[in-house]
Amino acid sequence: MTFSDSQTFVPAPMPVAFERRSAPRQRVLLTGVLSDSRREASQSCSLRNVSETGARLQLPGSDLPMSWGSLIVVRDACVYAIEPVWVSGDQAGVKLVGVRSFNGPTTQDMERLRDLWLEKLPRCGRSVH
């Protein structure tokens, strides 16, 4: 195909995948701990990607239950209140609905979560503010 000087070739726009996230995600590999809303059970997990509003979690070797209420991000010394969005095999998408830091004073309801966080900190160079 040839084009005369008066014709301009304009490529068709590339199809864009449907994106339901309200914020862009960032690929990560972080250690996390899921805790149920009563803080009676916990399970280690990996964060595979995160955004300001959500995260994709992986719990190796088992299905993720939908009853988790908190996600501790060990590196960031914080705990997120979470709402499950989807589950598929050993992965899940969660909505991050609130965050609290372990740095500084914590309330009584956060003591169990703080203990879980401290258990996951590396043995060397442990720093608690």
Q: What angle do CA 89, 94, 96 make, to 5 degrees?
A: 165
The whole-angstrom distance between residue 12's C-alpha and the CA centroid of its chain comes to 35
Q: What is the mean pLDDT of the chain?
A: 79
How far, in Å, are 35, 53, 59, 79 from residue 112 at the CA level? 10, 24, 21, 11
pLDDT tens-digit profile of 15-29? 444 455 566 788 999
Average of pLDDT values for 74-80?
A: 94
Residue 18's Cβ-side half-sphere holds a number of Cα atoms within 13 Å equal to: 1
Average of pLDDT values for 100-118?
A: 88
Inter-residue contact 96 to 73 (CB < 8 Å): no
Residue 97: the pLDDT is 94
Residue 22: the pLDDT is 63
Higher per-residue pLDDT: 101 or 107: 101
DSSP letter for each residue of 66-88:
TTEEEEEETTTTEEEEEEEEEEE
Higher per-residue pLDDT: 69 or 7: 69
Average of pLDDT values for 50-57?
A: 94
26-120: CATH, from 3.60.21.10, 2.60.120.10, 2.40.10.220, 3.90.1300.10 = 2.40.10.220
Residue 74: the pLDDT is 94
Domain boundaries, the chain: 26-120
User: Strand, helix or coil at 119?
Assistant: helix
